Amino acid sequence: MENFKIDIDADGIALVTFDVPGKSMNTIGPKVMDELGELAERLKTDAAIKGAVIASGKASGFCAGADLETAAGFAGAGELDPATRKQAFDEVFKLSKALRAIETCGKPVAAAMEGLAVGGGFEIALACHYRVAADDSKVQLGLVEAKIGLMPGGGGSQRLPRLIGAMAAAPLLLQGKTLRPSEAKAQGLVHEVVAPGGTVEAAKAWLKSGSADAVAPWDKRDFKIPGGGPFTPNGFQMFVMGSAILRKDTYGNYPAQINILKAVYEGLQVPIDAALRIEGRYFVRTLTSPQAKGMIRTLFGSMQALGKGAARPAGEAASQVKKAGVLGAGMMGAGIAHAQALAGIETVLIDVSQEAADKGKAHVKDLLDKAVSRGRMTAEKAEAALALVSATTDYALLKGADIVIEAVFEDRKVKAEVTAKAEAVLADTAVMGSNTSTLPITGLAEASVRPESFIGIHFFSPVDKMGLVEIIRGRKTSPATVAKTIDYVMRIKKTPIVVNDSRGFYTSRCFMTFLDEGMHMLGGGIAPALIDNVGRMTGMPRGPLEMADDVALDLCWKIVSQTAKDLGEAAVAGPTYDVLKTMVPELGRLGRKNGKGFYDYPAEKGAAKRLWAGLAEHFPPTVTRSNPALVAELKTRLLYRQALEAARCVEEGVVADPRDADVGAILGWGFAPWTGGPLSLIDQVGVAAFVAECDRLAAEHGPRFAPPKLLRDMAAEGRGFYGKASARAA
């Protein structure tokens, strides 16, 4: 076998080493599935083998799950004819069939997990009779398929609830939540947690103990589902209430979660072999949904490619940042410093006073202490990371820095001043970056004595939780500077996207259309509760009005009013301008920051926000009752506004790669993940159908919905952003 090596010791224990040739991480492709079946047959028929331990030959971990490229042919295929559906089922059921054969081979099999074991990798472990994991905070165990629009297809949705009960299994299956080894042991998913490097010996010790059992719990006559089956009180709570909660949380946007719940409910009523076939059928149904295609492509394929530097200019030498500077020690600057320290980068954190700089470093310490308290890192590692951060007012300490990022106020004059101070001590090869969310980089680069080394590096708040960095190339930014910046972003374990200069760049520009459309609705008489409820129904994290409060209404007003000034006579006043003018300069309602925006934010800890009662006085609602047609219309307006702006960014050359657009949208401002991103949404709908709908919306609601020439050309040519245009998804 190519992927599995078998060594049998004197006690008859077979050490099965899983090691896929030519890959840094074990994944499960067609060949591995076939060889798992061969392995099961060998374990069953070889009299010399008394038991087996499955371990990884990779330092990177046990197994990262299925190689999703093998499923790409069926992803998003829609309703299949019976023959094709059987073909798809037979293909995806290979893994489940092979793992069941290992589970029933008649000999005890243990899994020795050092490092990552997720998705199909954890399903291999669940099919073993004993599981040992290394005690390492970096180890992750779990079934993560739901995060990319899929569901377990190797028995995970059936074995997990049989091990720990449906209620305990629900968050692991529906949310794709991963566990550290100690957590997995506490829940009963792992039998032993041992020191790193000791998993194989611990597994062998179990096999030699005399208590090794070759029969899975669910194959025994006296087996009972922990917590009871679907028709017990616990089952009623899980499946009846759980269905309602799932609907509340997902609004029916995610077929994977719905199908997982159905597979568990139906599977727990029948023997395991029938349950595995049920899972296989629901897996095919999930895989062929348009949501799965978009999510797999963007959240798996595109994210992996961009995370490995797909946007990096060709031919540029690799670089490594050893020392970095951050100008501005506020929440954003301190967050950037924290990310750098975690990556082992010496960091100089500068502010106008020592007190402000020290406050920034204190925030870094708080983030590190939180990680220690949650078991994500040791106290020693946290102390070492903090020691890398120097809080100061002295720009001379930037000497020798490979990159400096200014994170000061969104004020051109202030940014120009700190840029000049930093460049006075930087080497010619150092990168000077600006963490701005809206100010054009080419304009900011005018303050630089070396604009070819000046670049936009837009972090998202809070930096410790947000995984995206938007890199903005100015008119004079060199390819070498872009390459160095991408290397830096990858070093701090963020996902880089690269865009060209524009007002608002890509993410801020598109995100603002979501807020803008919400304010158009408010100014047009739609009740605010209806606007935000529908906003959440689209799959966005929150509604447009509450998001505007979070961003800060005075910032929105500053952007809108400044844009109007910049455009002069070409500016067209509209509902958003009028709404913000009323809310900010006239009423002083700035959003969450001063406790007064579209919502009121009580000072009492834990008190819930409430829509401001005065909204009705200033923006009288004429539409207060919802109906399916109205909800569909509002959802379309909110999603299509954003998708249209993303398409305009492509047409204008702000975005060159659809992967940057879709990954940036989901990671940057939370664009509905079920779509795969705004450009994937257009492909999913079908470009021609999307253009026709936009023409209708433009006729009813105004020219902001007019599709750009690019989309009309694509519709005429029958092509999409990712190749040939998709048929309209039902």
The pLDDT of residue 730: 26
Length of the chain: 730
Q: What residues are paired with 132 via a beta bridge?
A: 112, 192
- Predicted local confidence at residue 725, as pLDDT: 52
Do residues 266 and 332 share a domain? Answer: no
User: What pLDDT, in 10s, does the model give residues 551-608?
Assistant: 999 989 988 887 777 767 665 668 999 999 999 999 999 999 999 999 999 988 889 9
* Residue of 589, 342, 301, 336 lying closest to 460 (CA atoms): 336
pLDDT score of 288: 93
What local confidence, expressed as pLDDT, does residue 727 receive? 42
- Print the domain residue range for 540: 507-626
State whether 126 and 269 are in the same domain: yes
- CA 78 – CA 91 distance, rounded (Å): 17
pLDDT in tens, 624-633: 898 999 999 9
Looking up tokens 């039902």 gives 730
- The pLDDT value recorded for residue 374 is 87
498 and 511 part of one domain? no
Angle at alpha carbon of residue 348, lines to 347 and 353, rounded to 5°: 145
Segment 175-225, tens digit of pLDDT: 999 999 999 999 999 999 999 999 999 999 999 998 999 999 999 999 999
CA-CA distance, 504 to 568, in Å (whole number)? 18
pLDDT at 715 over 90: yes
Taking residues 74-94, what's their average pLDDT? 86
Question: Within this chain, do residues 381 and 520 fall inside the same structural domain, yes or no?
Answer: no
Confidence at residue 72, expressed as pLDDT on a 0 to 100 scale: 63
Q: What value does the mean pLDDT of the chain take?
A: 94
The CA distance from 142 to 123, in Å, is 9
* 452 and 565 share one domain: no
pLDDT at residue 458, rounded to an integer: 96
Task: Give the residue from 473, 469, 423, 471 showing the smallest Cα distance to 450.
Answer: 423
d(CA 26, CA 8): 22
Do the Cβ atoms of 435 and 336 come closer than 8 Å? yes
pTM for the model stands at: 0.91
> What's the mean pLDDT in 138-143?
90
Asked whether residue 235 is assigned to any structural domain, the reply reads yes
Tell me which of 65-79, 227-241, 320-334, 678-692 is least confident.
65-79
Q: Is residue 393 part of a domain?
A: yes
Domain count, the chain: 4
The tens digit of pLDDT for each residue in 300-327 reads: 999 999 999 999 999 999 999 999 999 9
Torsion sign, CA atoms 189, 195, 196, 197: negative
Q: Domain check: are 512 and 533 in the same one?
A: yes
Residue 434 has pLDDT above 50, yes or no: yes
In a domain? residue 315: no
Mean pLDDT of 263-272: 97
Which distant-in-sequence residues (6+ apart) come within 8 Å of 582 by Cβ?
618, 619
> Could you tell me the CATH number of the domain that includes residue 600?
1.10.1040.50
Query: In angstroms, rounded to a whole number, what is the distance separating the alpha carbons of residues 440 and 416?
Result: 13
Maximum Cα–Cα distance for the chain, whole Å?
Answer: 88
Mean pLDDT of 440-445: 93
Same domain flag for 162 and 105: yes
What is the model's pLDDT at position 153? Answer: 95
Residue finishing a domain among 482, 503, 524: 503
Structure tokens at 105: 């081979």
Q: Which of 503, 529, 557 is the last residue of a domain?
A: 503
Query: pLDDT category, 139, cuts 50, 70, 90?
Result: confident
Give the separation between CA 331 and CA 329, rounded to whole angstroms.
7
**Active-site residue numbers?**
458
Q: Are residues 379 and 273 in the same domain?
A: no
pLDDT at 278: 98
Same domain, 51 and 154: yes
Amino acid letter, 433 = G
Strand ranges, E, within 161-271 = 192-194
Gap between the Cα atoms of 555 and 411, Å rounded: 12
Q: What is the mean pLDDT of residues 505-531?
A: 96
Among the listed residues 599, 610, 630, the one whose alpha carbon sits nearest the alpha carbon of residue 521: 630
| Residue 429 included in any domain | yes
How much of the chain exceeds pLDDT 70, in percent? 97
Residue 277 pLDDT class (50, 70, 90 cuts): very high
Query: What tokens appear for 294 in the block?
Result: 């978009």
- pLDDT number for residue 264: 97
The residues, ordered by sequence, that sit 6+ positions from 275 with a Cβ below 8 Å of its Cβ are 158, 266, 267, 268
- Tell whether 186 and 251 lie within a shared domain: yes
Whether residue 420 is contained in a domain is answered as yes
Quick one: 295 and 391 in the same domain? no
Which of these three, 476, 503, 530, is where a domain ends?
503
Contact present, 117 and 98 (Cβ < 8 Å): no
What CATH number does the domain containing 492 carry?
3.40.50.720
Residue 316: inside a domain: no
Question: Residue 379's closest CA among 391, 367, 371?
Answer: 371
SS3 of 616-633: the string is HHHCCCCECCCCHHHHHH
Q: For residue 729, is pLDDT > 60?
A: no
Taking only the tens place, the pLDDT of each residue in 647-690 is: 999 999 999 999 999 999 999 999 999 999 999 999 999 999 99
Amino acid identity, position 21 = P
Residue with tokens 């960091």: 347
648 located within any domain: no
Q: Do 383 and 431 fall into the same domain?
A: yes
Mean pLDDT of 364-392: 95
- Cα–Cα distance, 492 to 480 (Å, whole number): 19
User: Which amino acid is present at 417?
Assistant: E
Dihedral, CA atoms, 680, 550, 257, 681, nearest 10 degrees? -10
Q: Is the pLDDT of residue 142 over 80?
A: yes
Tell me, yes or no, whether 317 lies in a domain.
no
**CB atoms < 10 A from the CB of 331, how many?**
14
Check residue 439 and give its pLDDT: 85
Question: Residue range 243-254: average pLDDT?
Answer: 91
Q: Is the dihedral of CA 229, 234, 240, 246 positive or negative?
A: negative
Q: Which amino acid is at 179?
A: L
